[in-house]
Chains A and B, each alone.
Chain A
Amino acid sequence: MFQVIGERINTSRKKVQAAVVARDVKYIQEDVRSQQEAGAHFIDVNGGARIGHEQEDMQWLLETIAPVVTVPICLDSPDPTILEMAYTLVKEQPMVNSISLEKERFEVMMPFLKGKKCKIVALCMDDSGMPGSSTDILNRAEQLVTALVGIGMKLDDIYLDPLIQPISTDSGKGTMVLDAVRQIKKQFPEVHITGGLSNISYGLPERKIINRTFVTLMMAAGMDSAIIDPLDEKIMATIKTADMLNGKDIFCMNYLKGVRTGVIKS
């Protein structure tokens, strides 16, 4: 089944930042509840937008969320000292977002991950920048999987992010990432594919229709997770329907349940 990582608890979103500054417990808890009700499998928590306040904001967010959260948390920070602190504040095995092949991040994240029980988002990014071809993405995916398996991580705990790039700047960016995902899934069927879906539509109007259409193409290629807003009802309905068409919904139960609860409409 497709796994939704709910992206809303992020201090780069204005309302969340205001709630964090005001220490508004109710707002944050309500948001987490509504994401869970909408079907989020993970709640991403990113407290990095207020420069110089990440430590306190992350800690406050995690303590605030703890009483209401019923799904695993996705700890989102580039800073291992923040992650180390955050890791001690979660009860259930978290997802960690993220590691990449960029030397500075890779070298501090590997010792952090070693021996820990968690899921990991692995970005196909290295010091030369964004990947330029599907082969590029595949090579980076191989390096990441090899390294992570090498320190004892299970394939099922690895969530590769192939880095979706804007189609507006190069009309080949869609097929590039689709090809890469097919190749990665062929080589590592147990590894998950996730990512920030909305990058595809950057610079174009009516972005949501692009995002919804693209997620179905990506799901056919093998993407089985995404970092999205679970309160976007249309994309959630599209994902549930595509999951069924992909053979992931036995007896179409989730689809029918979605229709009966009013979540899925034609």
Chain B
Amino acid sequence: MVDLKEITQTLLELDEPKMLQLINKALESGTPADEILNDGLIAGMDIVGQKMENGDMFIPEVLMAAQAMSKGVEVIKHLLADDASSSKGTVVIGTVQGDLHDIGKNLVAMMMESAGLTVHNVGVDVSPDKFIELIKETNANILCLSALLTTTMPMMKQTIDALSESGLRAQVKVMVGGAPVTQEFANVIGADAFAPDAGSAAKRAKELVH
């Protein structure tokens, strides 16, 4: 038997070859794929997120971990039940209209995906109407809005207001983030949550839907 903690450990050490070996060994010894995913890989990425939040791991390391994670998922994908990962929540994430920044938002999307959420990263310069259309299309229960400019922050409020008018507000938790965004601002515009970095964003998202 392979101890799934070892898989978590190799992921944290960014040792992709060894991690893949352990995954294959675990599969051979009969460990179910969804256990490898949840208790090995996702558990590892939760720690990565925590370490990022604490300033113990940095963006390039987080990117390497996420890459290793997705290689691991590729190995077990065909063995996973279709609904194995959809239960943790579905996210629509994008940068609000008028804003073209995407680096931070893409990191958040990646961390959420690694945390086991289903993520629809819908890009930059997304209008309120487009967000609403995409929420309907994907049946999302979390909406993540990013803004990097003080001039586009008001568009977050407009998006939330449009969501209320569309009647969808009750079914969707709204999370906001981006360099100039604060918890105070999130409260003022009626968002459900704020996260200061990609690591805590994934954690907050999971808390919101549980």
| Chain A complexes with chain B | yes
Q: Which residues of A contact B (CB under 8 A)?
A: 12, 48-49, 51, 78-79, 102, 104, 125, 127, 129-130, 165-166, 168-169, 171, 202-205
B107 nearest in chain A by CB position: A169
Q: Mark B50-76, 1 if CB is under 8 A from A, else 0.
A: 000001001110010000000000000
A102 nearest in chain B by CB position: B100
| Residues B63 and A169 in contact, CB atoms below 8 Å apart | yes
Q: What are some 28 contacts across the A-B interface (CB < 8 A)?
A: A12-B150, A12-B180, A48-B150, A48-B151, A49-B150, A49-B180, A51-B150, A51-B153, A78-B151, A79-B151, A127-B100, A127-B125, A129-B124, A130-B100, A130-B101, A130-B102, A130-B103, A166-B59, A166-B103, A168-B58, A168-B60, A169-B59, A169-B63, A169-B103, A171-B60, A203-B58, A203-B60, A204-B58
| Residues A129 and B102 in contact, CB atoms below 8 Å apart | yes
A203 nearest in chain B by CB position: B59
The 8 closest A-B pairs by CB, nearest first: A203-B59, A168-B59, A129-B100, A49-B150, A48-B150, A168-B60, A78-B151, A204-B58
Interface size of B as a range? 10 to 19
Residues of A within 8 A of B98 (CB): 104
CA distance A204 to B60 in the complex (A): 8
User: Which of B100, B101, B124 has the most A CB atoms < 10 Å from its CB?
Assistant: B100
Assess A165 versus B103: contact at CB under 8 Å? Given A129-B124, A204-B59, A205-B55. yes
Please report whether the interface of chain B is mostly helix, strand, loop or mixed according to DSSP: loop
Q: Mark B78-118, 1 if CB is under 8 A from A, else 0.
A: 00000000000000000000101111000100000000000
CA distance A203 to B60 in the complex (A): 8
CA distance A169 to B64 in the complex (A): 10
CA distance A204 to B98 in the complex (A): 28
CA distance A104 to B97 in the complex (A): 12
Asked if B154 is an interface residue, CB under 8 A from chain A, the answer is: yes
| Residues B154 and A51 in contact, CB atoms below 8 Å apart | yes
| Residues A125 and B100 in contact, CB atoms below 8 Å apart | yes
Q: Which residues of B contact A (CB under 8 A)?
A: 55, 58-60, 63, 98, 100-103, 107, 124-125, 149-151, 153-154, 180
CA distance A169 to B165 in the complex (A): 38
Residues of A within 8 A of B107 (CB): 169
B98 nearest in chain A by CB position: A104
Residues of A within 8 A of B153 (CB): 51
A210, chain B: closest CB distance, angstroms:
12
Residues of B within 8 A of A168 (CB): 58-60
CA distance A154 to B55 in the complex (A): 46
CA distance A78 to B63 in the complex (A): 33
Residues of B within 8 A of A166 (CB): 59, 103
A264, chain B: closest CB distance, angstroms:
31
CA distance A129 to B94 in the complex (A): 14
A104 nearest in chain B by CB position: B98
B10, chain A: closest CB distance, angstroms:
23
Residues of B within 8 A of A130 (CB): 100-103
Residues of B within 8 A of A129 (CB): 100, 102, 124
Residues of B within 8 A of A51 (CB): 150, 153-154
A205 nearest in chain B by CB position: B58
Residues of B within 8 A of A202 (CB): 59, 103
CA distance A49 to B151 in the complex (A): 8
CA distance A166 to B148 in the complex (A): 15
B55 nearest in chain A by CB position: A205
Residues of A within 8 A of B180 (CB): 12, 49
A171 nearest in chain B by CB position: B60
B182, chain A: closest CB distance, angstroms:
11
B63, chain A: closest CB distance, angstroms:
7
